Structure 1
Amino acid sequence: MILYPAIDLKDGQCVRLLRGEMDKATVFGNDPAAQALAFQQAGCEWLHLVDLNGAFAGRPVNAAAVEAILAAISVPAQLGGGIRDMATIESWLSRGVRRVILGTVAVENPALVHEAARAFPGRVAVGIDARQGRVATRGWAEETDMMATDLARAFEDAGVAAIIYTDIDRDGAMEGPNIAATEALARAVSIPVIASGGVSSLADLVALRGTGVIAGAISGRALYDGALDLAEALATLRD
């Protein structure tokens, strides 16, 4: 199981939100590239980047910070937030992002996900963010009646590389991930599922790995707060 340290970008800074609320952002640093390099030096295999402003604006906003990160690291990075058309997908992939994450557009224009996955095999992921199992879009500001599992199944044969499943009510709350819901989703589809939201301890990672079906986990606040030591976590997952 791969651990993805998260760098969430708001106004060019590294922040963490509480349950997706933009007005409840805690700033953890003003040098995202330095933070990315620190994660790499600790041994991470991947980075998870989110343009939070972009998720609300529907277009890239923190491009300069993302480009600085890409210039500083050699490990692959996946990026989500404000990626809603083929031109933006192509642009980020050409600039060094290894994998783009399509969230809002997966609900509003699923044909684009299919098209992008065909055009860029292995480099397109779907982000499914949910409250009480129901998908939320546009920076989690708009809730839909679509169930997360139904959305995931819609891309079963699309060729997407992964599904990043975020339980919004757990995100940034340091209360542990929704293991049951994430495991259920992972068992419902053949697409690799990455857990996000609430991953805050070594025990959380061990429990997620123990399901035998979850391919990865994303952690942010716990790494910044020191509740989770990245090097120790990576060593545990390797063992």
Structure 2
Amino acid sequence: MTGTLTLLPAVDVAGGRAAQARDGAPDDPLRIATDLVDQGAAMLHLVDLDRAFGRGGDPDLMTELLGRIPVPVQLSGGIATTADVAWAAGTGASRVVLASSALSEPALVEAAAATLGERLVVAVDVREGQVVARGTPLVLGPTAEVLAGHPALRDGRIRVLVADASRDGRRSGADLDLFASVAELVGSPVTASGGVADLADLTRLRASEAVDELVLGAALHEGAFTLRDALEVCA
């Protein structure tokens, strides 16, 4: 049975510029975001790569972008401490993604849920069956064991974003089995990220009951398809 697949095009920001810009194309993140909205994006996934990779981040720019992007935004990138959550909660983000590293601290996940409520999304970055924290050497353990320590993630109250860390940015094909396995563990459909290569992947993901949202990154920005084509497949 074909379901609904909501697309969240990604805008990755590093050094104040849009990391997706290719071959001298404009790299103003607001311009990239606005172009995506003009093409039909109803929600964007905004990532502070500098914060995610421990380079300090740019909270002022993120706050400015959140105030100027004319659609709801899911804010991501290294939000992994109580202070990070408090800052993100005060921005205009419609959703806030808690970094996968936070899964090592169940109390932090619970506190984030209390602070953010329905705005909270928890990232589960998976590589070869292990939950990892991209941008760090941290390996938290087997996916099922890590999620077993978080009852709040198993009642559908908190949305989970499953990032395929082994395929992210590589356009090697979406791993539906991975997304389905995590969806089964948490008991609800997940937001998927990583590996999408072409429109056929979107068709397969749309048909999956385990996935109801998809973060679109490399395939979109490297021209494998247009956002309009992707939205048509998912309409």
Instruction: Output the TM-score relative to the length of structure 2.
Output: 0.87
* Conserved 8 A contact 1:14-1:27: no
Q: Distance in 2 between matches of 1:215 and 1:43?
A: 18
Identical counterparts, % of pairs: 32
* Conserved 8 A contact 1:163-1:194: yes
Q: 2:231 corresponds to which residue?
A: 234
Change (3 A) 1:154 1:44: farther
Q: 1:51 corresponds to which residue?
A: 48
User: 196, 200, 208: which is aligned to 1:199?
Assistant: 196
Alignment of 1:1-239 (within 5 A): 1-15=5-19, 29-57=26-54, 61-137=57-133, 139-158=134-153, 160-238=157-235
Change (3 A) 1:156 1:27: farther
Q: Distance in 2 between matches of 1:151 and 1:191?
A: 17
Give the superposition deviation at 1:90: 2.6
* Conserved 8 A contact 1:9-1:15: yes
**Per residue, is there more strand in 1 or in 2?**
1
Could you give the per-residue CA deviations for residues 203-237 of structure 1, whole angstroms, max 9, x where no partner exists?
A: 11111121122121111111112112111211221
Change (3 A) 1:107 1:157: closer
* Conserved 8 A contact 2:30-2:65: yes
Structure 1, gaps ≥5 residues long: 17-24
Q: Distance in 2 between matches of 1:99 and 1:144?
A: 25
Change (3 A) 1:187 1:173: same
Number of positions where the alignment pairs a residue of Structure 1 with one of Structure 2: 228
Q: Distance in 2 between matches of 1:99 and 1:171?
A: 21
Say what the alpha-carbon RMSD is for the aligned residues: 2.3
Give the superposition deviation at 1:2: 1.0
Q: 1:22 corresponds to which residue?
A: none
Structure 2, gaps ≥5 residues long: none
Q: Secondary structure at the residue paired with 2:160?
A: strand
Q: Distance in 1 between matches of 2:169 and 2:197?
A: 9
Q: Distance in 1 between matches of 2:24 and 2:77?
A: 18
Give the superposition deviation at 1:110: 2.0
Instruction: Output the TM-score relative to the length of structure 1.
Output: 0.85
The aligned amino acid for 1:152 is: L
Q: Distance in 1 between matches of 2:120 and 2:187?
A: 15
Q: Secondary structure at the residue paired with 1:215?
A: strand
Q: Secondary structure at the residue paired with 2:11?
A: strand
Change (3 A) 1:48 1:160: farther
Q: Distance in 2 between matches of 1:49 and 1:192?
A: 21
